Amino acid sequence: MKIVIIGAGKIGATLADQLLREGHEITVVDRSAEALDTISTLDVMTVEGNGITLQTLREAGVDTADLAIAVMSTDEENLLACLIAKKLGVGNTIARVRNPEYAEGIRLVKDDLGLSMTLNPELASASEIARILRAPSAIKIDTFSKGRVELHKVRLPDDSPLDGMKLLELGKMHSGVLICAVERGDHDVYIPSGSFALQAGDRISFVAKPKTAAKFFHKIGIPSEPVKRVMLLGGGRISYYLARQMLDFGASVKIIEANAQVCESLSERLPDADIIHGDATNEHLLAQEGIEKMDAVASLTGIDEENVLMSLYARSVTKAKIVTKINRTTFSHIIKSMDLGSVFHPRYIAADHIVRYVRAMQNSLGSNVETLYKIVGNKAEALEFRATAKSAVCGTPLMELQLRPDLLIGAINRNGRILTPSGRDTIEPGDTVVVVTTVTGLNDLDDILDKRRAKV
């Protein structure tokens, strides 16, 4: 597909990289030559110019593109760029819209603006963090089938009863979960078979229904009570959205923010939260505000170094769940070696949403990618496909399907009933199927088959 990305900031650059890996023809537009230089190592076309002018958009080939994605600095520019691109003849448009005050209005005029999709990275990030705070034992939680299925990632403690256990022995626990990916050390990622033996320190990803996941945590001795007292360090958009969700969940929320005007705005919009004007890197202030008594501490400022330091400090003085926002993608191996709790990259969360949409766009058989997450440090994907009558995998027992190596079917949703699949189960038209794999670029359910061996 031919895709034009308007804006070469953090999310624009990440999208260019991810969509290029998916095999698309990418053109990136930005008025800043310096911003375009940051993606000079990518095999993409670049156009220097204002992304809301006809001349620049025509030069970028918007009139012949399949998709235009506007991720400039302001919502207004993004909406206008999409409107102009649509008038020029682009097939589909996606706009980043971050202002919470625009949300309802955009829904009303989305069709009039010709928008295929709007994206709010901060809201998406806050929603992911909120899921973690409701089940804080997990490092990360992704959802499928409208919340009926969850993919949990958790680290096995040193005294875990699973240490040394082979996966085929899990059936004795009647856990109802399916372990579908294992990270061991800094680099090794496994899509495990039944003979795979777990080790303490492994970071396992498992698929389960929400209630089943909670019972599994209890069986393996990992507490998983929702947090009740939350401290947010930094008062940006993610903090606002997260505070709103946690307040609705019944938790108490305290936000520490250095900018007085931001504090005033937060106080008006979040009357039930405690808003503290102060420097969140000041350990005396954090102690005074009761960081030791918190159930969760999230470092959410716009400066990665501050977030890392605050999370490390919080880890040293409290047993709270730690959440750290990281914007940069560099030094990831160092970040991974630090005990920063659950680390979130808003740019990757945004990219996941758009890659999922793009894969659904180019699908030809109709069994669309309904959900997509990059997992285990972007080394694997968890996808949800919808099966149709045309799907070659339908009606055949799973044990007889010749699946690609390094791929596992994690769950089948049949009219709201969640199946943990066994070899005798079949996929039927209308089912949604959760697949976990280190094979990237799957666009259709039938892509799970090893075409060299499949005889379906």
CATH H superfamily, domain 125-219: Regulator of K+ conductance, C-terminal domain (3.30.70.1450)
pLDDT band at 363 (very low <50, low <70, confident <90, very high): low
Q: In terms of DSSP H, where are the helices of 185-282? A: 210-219, 237-248, 260-269
CB atoms within 10 A of CB 181: 26
Q: Which residue has the tokens 């969700």?
A: 245
Q: What is the pLDDT of residue 130?
A: 93
pLDDT band at 355 (very low <50, low <70, confident <90, very high): confident
Which is more confidently placed, 323 or 329?
A: 323
d(CA 211, CA 361): 34
How many Cα atoms sit within 13 Å of 450 on the Cβ side?
A: 12
CB atoms within 10 A of CB 178: 20
Answer whether residue 322 shows pLDDT above 50: yes
The pTM score is 0.81
pLDDT band at 311 (very low <50, low <70, confident <90, very high): very high
Q: What is the pLDDT of residue 365?
A: 46
Q: Does domain 229-344 have CATH number 3.40.50.720?
A: yes
d(CA 358, CA 383): 13
Average pLDDT over residues 23-35: 94
Topology given in CATH for the domain delimited by 2-119: Rossmann fold (3.40.50)
Q: What is the pLDDT of residue 362?
A: 67
Q: What is the pLDDT of residue 280?
A: 94
Q: In what order do the strands lie in the sheet with 92-96?
A: 45-48, 25-30, 2-6, 67-70, 92-96, 117-119
Q: Is 394 within 8 Å of 414 (Cβ atoms)?
A: no
Q: What is the pLDDT of residue 261?
A: 96
d(CA 450, CA 288): 59
Closest CA to 142 of 197, 196, 71, 213: 213
d(CA 422, CA 408): 11
d(CA 7, CA 119): 14
Q: What is the pLDDT of residue 332?
A: 67
Domains 2-119 and 361-448 share a fold: no
Q: What is the pLDDT of residue 422?
A: 87
d(CA 204, CA 212): 16
Find the radius of gyration of the CA atoms of the chain.
23
Answer whether residue 368 shows pLDDT above 90: no
Average pLDDT over residues 344-359: 86
d(CA 257, CA 259): 6
d(CA 20, CA 89): 23
Instruction: Return the domain boundaries, the chain.
Output: 2-119, 125-219, 229-344, 361-448
Average pLDDT over residues 167-175: 83
Topology given in CATH for the domain delimited by 361-448: Alpha-Beta Plaits (3.30.70)
Q: Which of 331-335, 348-352, 388-392 is the least confident region? A: 331-335
Answer whether residue 247 shows pLDDT above 80: yes
CA dist list (Å): 385 to 46, 63, 140, 206, 433: 34, 31, 21, 18, 5
pLDDT band at 135 (very low <50, low <70, confident <90, very high): confident
% of the chain residues with pLDDT over 70? 96
Question: How far from chain centre, in Å, is Cα 258?
Answer: 28
